[in-house]
Structure 1
Amino acid sequence: QALNRENQRLHIFLTGERRMGKTSTLNHLSTLLSTRYLPIILDLQSPDMLSSTAAFLSKVANAIYTTMDARGARIRRLEHTTLQEASRENEAACYHLFNEWLKDVETILKRNDQTLLIAFDEFEKLEVAGRERYLSLALLLNWIRSVIQNHAHLTLLFSGVRTLTDVNPDWPGYFVNVKTLKVTLLAPEDARTLITQPVPDFRGEDIFGEGVVDEIIQVSGCHPFLVQAICDELIEALNFERRKRATHEDVATAVENVLQSWSAYFQDLWARTSAQQQVCLKALKCLGHASVSQVVQQCALDEQKVQQTLQELQWRDLVLVENDCYRIAIPVFASWLSV
């Protein structure tokens, strides 16, 4: 929606916890955006994507060529071997070669009034590649900043779990013209739609009674992945037992099965939680709803540290604040803390 309604060129940083729907959003860009956008999705988790500057630019060039060719635009290929040859001089020579090739691409984009949207998923992997010296991170970040500032028919989108400052305090300076959009928990009405009509013609109201739908919304905390995981467990149980309608007892069983089947998800969530965040989460697990002063008393941290930590947890959608009281946002996650 942000890209479709903006009159000016917009670059986006998409952030949010894992399994919130960031990658799913990227995969649906072609149907969500107007036809003037040519979306390209590049997964930076792929080991060969960031193995060298030549490899990175080759992957980008190949994706551009494939996407534009599918739209009937004829451009020449930029071969990996050509970039590799340039890299023997130095890494900066690769960018010079790529940018010269890109001029021809942009000429066609301008003529057709089109914009290439290049989305980099799992952007944090850039920092790993730089740390391991697979490529020059300084050159790559400067190239990204140059594209953002100077290329009218290219839009960049970055997607990741961590914020720019979390990855590296120096990074925000390269992304000053990038708008941050947070992928967060669903609104209750959207969670209800996901439960009752995940696909057209699915008769969810006949399978999940009103009370059951409300209970799924409550225990999942409107987390999109957990909503779907609980519903999958319910459907599987109904099919196995040859029943047509789920009950409240079925939801409780489904939650227990999710805790077991998706234990790696919860373990990863916990592993990416700092020591102070873990202390505050445990305190909220014991207290249920609590003010800052009550959390301070429970976990023996100073008030300033508790306030800062609760704000971090709120940003991560692990904690909600209501009437100056905090609670764990996702009851299923609170249940996992008890396991």
Structure 2
Amino acid sequence: MQPRRLTAVFDSWGFERHSSRTSPTLVELYRRRDNPHVRTLAVRLGILLFLATPLLAISASLVVSWNNPAFAWDGVAFGVALGVAFGVAFGVAFGVAFGVAFGVAGGVAGGVAGGVAGGVAGGVALGVAYGVAFGVAFGVAGGVAGGVAGGVAGGVAGGVTVGVAGGVTVGVAFGVCCLIVYLRVPIYALEALWTWLLTTLCETGQLSWRRAALRLPFHYHDVIWFPLPRLRPFLVAAGKENVALGNSLIAEAADTLGQKGPAQKALVELQAWSLERAAQFRWWARVAELDLDFLRIVETPTLMRSFRDAARDLYAAERSRSHHHKNAALERARTTLQRVQSAIVGEPHPEYLERHLLSVARTWLAVVAEEQASLAISMRERPQVPTPFVAGEVLRASNRELFKGRRDLTRIIDHDLTGDRRAPFLLLGQRRMGKSSLLNMLPEHLGTGTQVVTLNFQGLSGETHLQTPHLWLEQEVAAACGQAPSPPGRTAWGETLKWLEQVDAHLQQQERRLLIAIDEVERLQDEVERGRTSTDFLDLVRAMGDRLGRVRVLLVSAHPLARLGPHWVDRLISVVQRELGYLKPDEARELMCQPIDGFPDIYPPGGVERIAEQTRCHPYLVQLVCDKLTFSLNANERLQATDEDIELALDDALPNAEAALFNALWAQQTVDEKTWLARLARAPVPVARPDRVLKGLIRHGFVEQRAGDMHVAVPMFGTWIRDRKPEDEPPRAEAKDVVEAKTTPLA
């Protein structure tokens, strides 16, 4: 039984550990003499102490007594008896493991020492001391309960080697003792041969991997300093044959001294094998969850995460019925795998894992190529309308093709950043108008001379710095400007302002600018009303406009400042307001007809105009209706839409528009505003002199004048308002200044 496992067995039997011993005493074992395992253990220890000790002592004495007529055999008997006696005594006092180890080592050493004299005895003493020191100290005291092999080998080999050496210098003898006692080279040679033999027998089919695994040397011997030859291929083959067995063997081998390296390499090979099998059988979902054999027992390295990302895209492609989405997912997977391949090839000295993952990447790329070829055939045989429209998601650089228009606004922002202008900006726009998408596109439009840092206050409630949002700003700016001075990290926003002045001076030297964009800044007011933060952040924004030249602030909101509260108007009185409104008709047409290169002409005559009219060129609604239309065409396996398809897409889009847009737009209106919108939704109203409420609705794009009448600007929104339940509508009230006769348009 392996010493470390012997200690574990003692623990499982409930024997209490002490600082002075790691095994039970003979008395404790005697109390459990009815246990068959205890009896078996006692028999083994007894054989080792009472039988093996005399045999080892006699064998060693035969070697030492060669050509030594003065050898005293009676001294051997006395030494063995004395060692065994001390072993029993120590077994009672300090535990059976220590007692047996000391008894065997002392018996053999004492027996040999009793039979010789002079230098030889001194050599034996030296050898015994060395053997016992390393065998017992590294065994018993180190928790390897017993260390019997080390003690025996030390006593015998050390005594014989140094004794026979005689006149040889102590240094040479000491070195030989090191090889034999500490490194255990003779034992290792036998274990290496045995491992090689087991692997060969298994490979030739003469022995099963499971049976051979029980006979591996590291099961019985912890202190194997060197890797066992052919252990790695044994572990790999056993793992392929039986996953549970492979995992168990790798874990056990990795827990021993010299077999950790082979175990780690075997695990790498099995991981690569699992990934290749996953590609062969298309187990993308399992790879995405790291639910493959041999991938669950280790931390996930960076390259392995890349395979997980590729598997997610491949799984998405497998489940998608859209040719466009399937092709996009396959292309993302191919790009990810090519990056892995390039990263490994670019390494001058790739690690063992990287070398094997390179082969896996090639296998996966071949599978992706097969899937793309199969998709190309499907696209020719069963063509579909591409479905590139993204409704509701923030556009990023990866889908910049869908970002249409806004060029005039980006030019204005770029213009406002130049010169000596310092006041903060306010970008005002309705919900889902594309404000966040615009922020993502600003770096490309503004160029490298302007660094854009974006904070989204939508997640302010979950931020660590909820009460001190200026510290959040510090962190983001410091991360973006790597060469800037270190931020102070203090609760007073005045310290942040002083630090930003240093950043401003740094940017001045580099002739660069910094734009800090704060998306959904109105969420700050929500937290102020909850009492979880204050308006001090607005003081910082105002002070930044007064004292900084190269650092500018862009606030993004769906609400005008007056609606957020008087403190917003007071703190930001000098703000430069820019509005993000509906797309222009030609921009909306481009979005519908050319969302991506090669998009087919799917609309009936007048269909584009119908969608533009009903959505009022609202970017979210345009994408939503077009997405519904393309989905319907593909579901019915048609490539050309009819007028009925357009109307059906408009109707199908209403539930999504309600959840994602209309409810929020309606909730932000006052009672008077809701009254006006409900009235206009029922029928256009001619107005001679609009009141304050109606003027506000016109200013913010909810109401428009057409042919002298007031209309809800977005007909889809008007339809939704008109179809609302009666209990959801505001109380009916006659709007002021409504006249029946047609009036002149508003100036």
Q: Determine if the TM-score, normalized by the shorter chain, exceeds 0.5.
A: yes
Aligned twin of 1:299 = none
| Aligned CA distance change for structure 1 residues 153 and 225 (closer, same or farther; 3 Å) | same
1:331 to 715, 719, 722: 715
Task: Return the alpha-carbon distance in structure 2 between the equivalents of residues 28 and 13 of structure 1.
Answer: 17
Task: Return the alpha-carbon distance in structure 1 between the equivalents of residues 710 and 464 of structure 2.
Answer: 41
Any idea what SS the aligned residue of 1:156 has? strand
Task: Return the alpha-carbon distance in structure 2 between the equivalents of residues 108 and 197 of structure 1.
Answer: 43
Aligned twin of 1:5 = 415
Preserved CA contact (<8 Å) 1:220 1:227: yes
**Which structure 2 residues correspond to residues 223-302 of structure 1 after superposition, within 5 A?**
223-264=618-659, 265-287=661-683, 289-292=684-687
Task: Return the alpha-carbon distance in structure 1 between the equivalents of residues 602 and 498 of structure 2.
Answer: 58
1:319 to 675, 688, 703: 703
Preserved CA contact (<8 Å) 1:122 1:160: yes
Q: Which amino acid aligns with 2:698?
A: Q
| Aligned CA distance change for structure 1 residues 136 and 285 (closer, same or farther; 3 Å) | closer
| Aligned CA distance change for structure 1 residues 317 and 96 (closer, same or farther; 3 Å) | closer
Aligned twin of 2:458 = 45
**Which structure 2 residues correspond to residues 199-238 of structure 1 after superposition, within 5 A?**
199=596, 201-204=597-600, 206-238=601-633
| Aligned CA distance change for structure 1 residues 130 and 243 (closer, same or farther; 3 Å) | same
Q: Which amino acid aligns with 1:279?
A: T
Gaps of 5+ in 2: 1-410, 724-747
Q: How many residues align?
A: 308
1:115 to 495, 507, 513: 513
Task: Return the alpha-carbon distance in structure 1 between the equivalents of residues 553 and 710 of structure 2.
Answer: 36
2:577 to 162, 180, 188: 180
Task: Return the alpha-carbon distance in structure 1 between the equivalents of residues 509 and 494 of structure 2.
Answer: 23
Any idea what SS the aligned residue of 2:559 has? coil
Preserved CA contact (<8 Å) 1:18 1:161: yes
Any idea what SS the aligned residue of 1:45 has? helix
Aligned twin of 1:25 = 438
1:214 deviates by 1.2
Q: Which amino acid aligns with 2:526?
A: V
Preserved CA contact (<8 Å) 1:4 1:34: no
Q: Which amino acid aligns with 1:142?
A: D
Preserved CA contact (<8 Å) 2:562 2:568: yes
1:230 deviates by 0.3
1:35 aligns with 2:456: no
Any idea what SS the aligned residue of 2:433 has? coil
Preserved CA contact (<8 Å) 1:61 1:77: no
Task: Return the alpha-carbon distance in structure 2 between the equivalents of residues 202 and 23 of structure 1.
Answer: 27
Task: Return the alpha-carbon distance in structure 1 between the equivalents of residues 621 and 464 of structure 2.
Answer: 32
Q: Which amino acid aligns with 2:484?
A: I
1:111 deviates by 1.0
Aligned twin of 1:90 = none
Preserved CA contact (<8 Å) 2:452 2:517: yes
Gaps of 5+ in 1: 88-93, 294-302
| Aligned CA distance change for structure 1 residues 177 and 338 (closer, same or farther; 3 Å) | closer
1:162 deviates by 1.0
| Aligned CA distance change for structure 1 residues 33 and 326 (closer, same or farther; 3 Å) | same
1:58 deviates by 2.7
**Which structure 2 residues correspond to residues 95-174 of structure 1 after superposition, within 5 A?**
95-137=493-535, 139-174=536-571
* Cα-to-partner distance string for 1:158-214 (whole Å, 9 max, x where unaligned): 111111111112322322332111111111111111111123x0425x122442111
1:307 aligns with 2:307: no
Aligned twin of 2:589 = 192
1:50 deviates by 7.6
1:270 deviates by 1.6
The Cα RMSD (Å) is 2.1
* Cα-to-partner distance string for 1:73-118 (whole Å, 9 max, x where unaligned): x23543xxx63xx44xxxxxx3243234334322321111111100
Any idea what SS the aligned residue of 1:207 has? coil
Q: Which amino acid aligns with 1:162?
A: H
Task: Return the alpha-carbon distance in structure 2 between the equivalents of residues 96 and 309 of structure 1.
Answer: 40
Query: Greater strand percent: which structure?
Result: 1
Preserved CA contact (<8 Å) 2:615 2:621: yes
Query: Greater helix percent: which structure?
Result: 2
Q: Which amino acid aligns with 1:276?
A: D
Aligned twin of 2:471 = 58
* Cα-to-partner distance string for 1:30-85 (whole Å, 9 max, x where unaligned): 1121322111111111123484444x22321221122223xxxx23543xxx63xx
TM-score (norm 1): 0.84
1:75 aligns with 2:484: yes
1:329 deviates by 1.3
Structure 1, 319-328 or 215-224: larger mean CA deviation: 319-328
Aligned twin of 1:91 = none
Q: Which amino acid aligns with 2:647?
A: A
Task: Return the alpha-carbon distance in structure 1 between the equivalents of residues 498 and 546 of structure 2.
Answer: 17
Q: Which amino acid aligns with 2:532?
A: Y
Preserved CA contact (<8 Å) 2:467 2:533: yes
